[in-house]
Chains A and B, each alone.
Chain A
Amino acid sequence: MNKILFKLFTAAFLLTSLGTSASVWEGGNAENGEALFNANCASCHYTTAEVLAAPGLLGVKDRWKGVSDETLILWIQNPQAAAETGDKYVKSLVERYVPTYGWMTAQAVSAEEVKDIMAYVQVAATQVAGAGDATAGADCPTIGDDLEESGSASTTVWFLILLVLFIVVALAASGVRNSISNAIANDGDAEAGLTYTDRVKAWMGRNMAFVSIIGLVLVAYGATIGYQALMGVGVYEGYQPDQPIKFSHSIHVCENEVDCQYCHSSASKSKHAGIPSTNVCMNCHKGIKKGKQYGTEEIGKIYAAIGFDAATGTYIDGEGNNGHKAPQDDFDGDPIKWNKVHNLPDHVYFNHSQHVVVGGLECQNCHGDVQKYTVGRIAPVDEVAALVNDYPGLIPLSKPTLTMGWCIECHNKAEIDLASSDYYEEIHNRLKNDVRGNEELRKYMEDEEITVRELGGWECAKCHY
């Protein structure tokens, strides 16, 4: 049945197209062709020689030289029917490409439109394929922009405060110093036979103001560093190790609006948010082979890890372009070794789905403005607290990120929406019906809100194994 329809269609088509005598290669409207090409063909073909999901169209005119225009038009409108015409070039085309890329899908374009497209293909060959819109993402930081200013600012402030303190003390004691230095200076030029240490001492005595200020600076600095080092034990704010690939959240989330959970897809299902496996990168990078900043260098590392040949657009393990079973199955490459950034010790349990799905928290509440980052990092708590106005529902905190103080501060502040779950309703009912219940309930409701803490969020065993 299908076959008969096929043949009827082919015949009807051949009849109509015989009327158009002018060559497909001449007189088309390239502008119109560009729109048509982008809408219909650009998901598989580049206009250059590069392979996307099908061979590039550079030089098609030469390749189709000996073939009639009708066959070309038929090929585009119905490749399988064109193959049945037995044309030699089409046959070679099918033999070469179909095993790897599958059949080209039939395109609903008219003969006139093919003409426009071919006009565009011929002029477009000179344009660079895959180059993004230069104006995209003007507000998004790029790799190299500095983000870590805030950390150094607080060091300087502490340092200055301590310095001023020491100078005040020094000035108070300076009267004593002055008299000593006068006494030394009066000794006159007895320097001749002195040892080096004695001479240094004498010089220091003469330049007391200078020496003491330098000394004070050093002491103040030492105290600042010491204090900060103590406060920083076990605090990992601002940690942002270099990664094996210069992956930028800014490009992906800010410029191209990819959702966090597209890549960190297990955040809603499990304890871990997860780092995307390489096949997830390939969902986009099969088609996006060049970056704005690093060209093919960084994206090439993904290909090396998964075994993808960018030149032919195929996986080395032999799966075709029309879908792949599971890259990396048969390819034995080195995995991408991302450096772990967030890390809780083994004695704590943290679960993402509990916070993201049940708690309804935004990722930004704990991880900061990730879409502005060019490298994964632990967001300092002040930076996160400054985002309150950007994210409704964000709970500003004050204890350093990823410390226990940070966790329980939030559990103390975070309110629970009792209507959000049957579980809470059940607990609520039990408390109401229990003899002791009402009293307990009243206690909880004294401040008109139920926090995570009041439901046991401060119990050690909730977080500690």
Chain B
Amino acid sequence: MTRYTLSSLLLIMIVGLGSCVTDPNSPGLEYMPDMYRSPAVEAYVDYGEDPYYKTEEVAKSQRNTISARKPVEGTIAQVKSGDFNMPYAYPNTDEGYAAAGANLTSPLATNQENIEAGMEIYQIMCTHCHGEKGEGDGAISRNGLIKGIPSYTGKLKDLPVGNIYHTLQYGKGLMGSHASQMTQKERWQVIEYVKVLQNGGEMPEFDANGNVLTAAASSDEAAQDQPQ
């Protein structure tokens, strides 16, 4: 038994044993069932994995059900007062799109609260496609994966809010429906910010109550400010 074999054996053992990592597919040790597998009705529970299941058959069918379910058609959400929950009245057709554009108006006031909330939502929901300033240059567009996203200051400059809402509700072309990700109020708030982007992206000025100073009023003020 030479010294070489001895030390190399040792080395192999150290390296070999030391590199035993726990299997990433195993969550780890659990000492007695610790209520990790819930038999209770809760979202995001792996039904059918709980240790109290009745029969394998029942468990099997439970494993095949979707736990994140869609509400029954016609369900009206319970919302805080001031929020909206009524079903959308226009059908998903070309006529519905046109009618929404002509008739649908925002129930929200154009004020600081709504525009700023809209900006936040826009940055979460829209920038990766439409770009920070709405010029159709989000990361996905820059990477060449979805091309031809229209610019708010170009093609979409005069698009009525009703059409924007209709598109958020049902989707249009490559843009999918965003109704499942945003509440009705959030959709109207983001539209408030899209309106700002349609006008070039310059945030309007607000008075102390958060109301928008009208273009005329603010340019008057600007004019008054100028000479001083």
* Cβ distance B176 to chain A, nearest Cβ, rounded Å: 3
CB-CB under 8 A from A136, the residues of chain B are 142-143
Complex Cα spacing A207 to B173, Å: 78
Given contacts A210-B1, A241-B24, A323-B92, contact A132 B174 (CB under 8 A): no
> B46 on the interface (CB 8 Å rule)?
yes
| CB pair B170 A280 closer than 8 Å | no
Given known A159-B17, A275-B44, A323-B92, contact A44–B180 (CB-CB < 8 A): no
B44 and A262: CB pair below 8 A?
no
In the bound complex, how far is the Cα of B94 from the Cα of A322, in angstroms?
A: 9
Which residue on chain B has the smallest CB distance to residue A209? B6
Residues of B within 8 A of A239 (CB): 24, 26-28
Specify which chain B residues have a CB less than 8 angstroms from the CB of A130 in the assembled complex.
145
Instruction: Report whether B68 and A275 are in contact in the complex, using a CB–CB cutoff of 8 Å.
Output: yes
In the complex, B223 has a CB within 8 A of chain A: no
B35 lies within 8 A of chain A by Cβ: yes
A293 beta carbon closer than 8 Å to chain B: no
Contact of A265 with B by CB under 8 A: yes
In the assembled complex, the Cα of A38 lies from the Cα of B144 at a distance in Å of 9
Residue of A nearest to B150 (CB): A43
Whether B138 contacts A259 by the Cβ 8 Å rule is: no
Task: Determine whether the beta carbon of A151 is less than 8 Å from that of B35.
Answer: no
Judge whether B124 is part of the interface by a CB distance below 8 angstroms: yes
Q: Which B residues lie within 8 Å of A269 (CB)? A: 183
Q: Are B21 and A255 in contact (CB under 8 A)?
A: no
| CB contact between B34 and one of A38, A41, A257, A345 (< 8 Å): that residue | A345
- Docked complex Cα distance between A334 and B64 (Å): 8
Residues of A within 8 A of B184 (CB): none
Interface size on A, residues (CB 8 A): 85
State whether the Cβ of B181 lies closer than 8 Å to any Cβ in chain A: yes
- Contact in complex: B14, A163 (CB < 8 Å): yes
| B-binding segment of A65-73, A88-96, A283-291 | A283-291
Interface pick from A23-31, A228-236, A436-444: A228-236
- Complex Cα distance, B181 from A262, in Å, reads 7
B78 within 8 A of A: no
> Once bound together, how far apart are the Cα atoms of A283 and B168, in whole Å?
11
- Residue from the list A131, A229, A277, A325 in contact with B29, Cβ < 8 A: A229
Residue in B35, B64, B176, B182 whose CB lies within 8 Å of A286: B176
Chain A residues within 8 Å of B68, by CB? 274-275, 277
> Can you list, as one digit per residue, whether each of B28-46 has a CB less than 8 Å from chain A (1) or not (0)?
1111001110101011101
Task: Report yes or no: A234 in contact with B13, Cβ–Cβ below 8 A.
Answer: no
CA–CA, A210 and B1, complex, Å = 9
In the complex where A133-B144, A236-B27, A256-B145 touch, is A155 in contact with B18 (Cβ < 8 A)? yes
Is A32 interfacial (CB 8 A cutoff)? no
Contact A148 B18 (CB under 8 A): no
Contacts of A262 in B (CB 8 A): 124-125, 128, 181
Tell me how far the C-beta of A264 lies from the nearest C-beta in chain B, rounded to whole angstroms: 10
Known: A130-B145, A288-B146. A159 touches B18 (CB 8 A): yes
Q: How far is the CB of B29 from chain A (nearest CB, A)?
A: 5
Contact A236 to B28, CB < 8 A, known contacts A159-B17, A207-B1, A288-B145:
yes
Tell me whether B70 is interfacial, beta carbon within 8 Å: yes
A233 to B31, CA, bound (A): 6
Most buried by A among B1, B94, B140: B140
In the A-B complex, the 3 residue pairs with the smallest Cβ-Cβ separation, listed nearest first, are: A42-B147, A283-B176, A43-B148
- Sample of 8 A–B contacts (CB below 8 Å): A38-B148, A133-B143, A152-B20, A159-B14, A238-B24, A241-B27, A324-B177, A345-B36
A residues with a Cβ closer than 8 A to B are 38-44, 52-53, 102-103, 108, 130-133, 136-137, 148, 151-152, 155-156, 159-160, 163, 207, 209-210, 213-214, 217, 221, 229, 232-242, 255-259, 261-262, 265, 269, 271-272, 274-275, 277, 279-280, 282-284, 286-288, 321-326, 328-329, 334-335, 337, 340, 343-347, 377
